[in-house]
Structure 1
Amino acid sequence: MADGLHLDDITIGKDDETLIAIDARVAPGQVLSIMGPSGVGKSTLLAFLTGTLPPAFDATGHVRLDGRDLTGLPPEKRNLGILFQDDLLFPHLSVAGNLGFGLRGGSRAGRHAQVAAALDEVGLAGFGPRDPATLSGGQRARIALMRMLLARPDALLLDEAFSRLDSARRQATRRMVFDTARARGLPVVMVTHDPADAEAAQGPVIRLGDADPLRSNPT
């Protein structure tokens, strides 16, 4: 049974200084916004969640997803999808090749059908043979999202994922990501410095960067 993403008493520090202290739960389909200026440690939190935190940091606490403790697992076993501010599409692959990169198992025809359905879902039917370089920023963002979703993640992490888009594309892409997460019941942790992102998410907000690194709870 889906129980969401639990950030249980997480504390991250470096050189005897506490940078982040968070205790929160993100329900299925909910978006938790982590806000603060650059350099405050937002991406450091995501690194802890994905299991890629550099050894220079000290961290305690647990990450639990639908009752499963992810804390000691390697990144590839956590089944977390992440979107960055750069779409990171593979330039040597077609759009279809990018979408199919994470698909494993099944027949070739089945994988092709999944890719075609993904393109249709984001309004890009027929774009499979295209070179990613020919896509607009909004189209690239949609392909990056669907590539991640085809890997069937159990939760989504957004690292300033909308910051490179212009205002119109940002609103449309943001709406698509949030609507998809709600429809699929995926908990989302979004790192952002833009209050408009948090407002659109309509979920709890944790603000980092206060003078006192007190334990942060959703507001």
Structure 2
Amino acid sequence: MIAMLGRDLALGVRAGGGFGLGLAFFLIVVTLVPFGVGPHPDLLARIGPGMLWLGALLACLLSLDRIFALDWEDGSLDLLATAPLPMEGVVSMKALAHWITTGLPLVAAAPALGVLMNLPAPAYLPLTLTLLLGTPALSVIGTFGAALTVGIKRGGLLLSLLVLPLYVPTLIYGAEAARRGAAAQAYGTPLMMLAGITCGAIALLPFASAAVLRVNLR
């Protein structure tokens, strides 16, 4: 499992679909929002948490189609299906590699990019906490969507249509917790709901993804 994780991390960085692409897209979105909204610091501070969360969600979405694509193209996925390793473990390592190469850099960059959105000082801790708790759910849900569309030529659009509705609860609770933190309000309830979504996704979706992959590989 550790060797597989290291291989996926190396592929994610070298293939150009992980760290660099997601982080660059996140930076572009956050940089362009002030130009579109205009020089209104109060407005930027109000919409900042939601825009940062939306940018992180879309950045994660960019690289989902590459989670299984390379293994499908070179036949490695068939070998993994017949290996003694459980398919659920394979899927979990794929999701973890995606989070490390895509989600974790976004968590690290969000506080710095929050300066561009004129976020108040109390907003940075809840923003970081929500992204740290919520981005694993984005990767796990995205892995499930990638398993559904594996082998489909040009399935990126279909993958986006399948995954985006599943991302909505994570976006709602993550942005709400960050917004409440920015307003110096109690944000424990949406934060716990966000943690519950992440824990539920990690507990259930690897089994669903593995079952879908077994069906697609028949």
TM-score by length of 1: 0.28
State the structure with bigger RCO (CA 8 A, min sep 6), 1 or 2. Answer: 1
Answer 1 or 2: which has greater helix percent. 2
Greater strand fraction, Structure 1 or Structure 2: 1
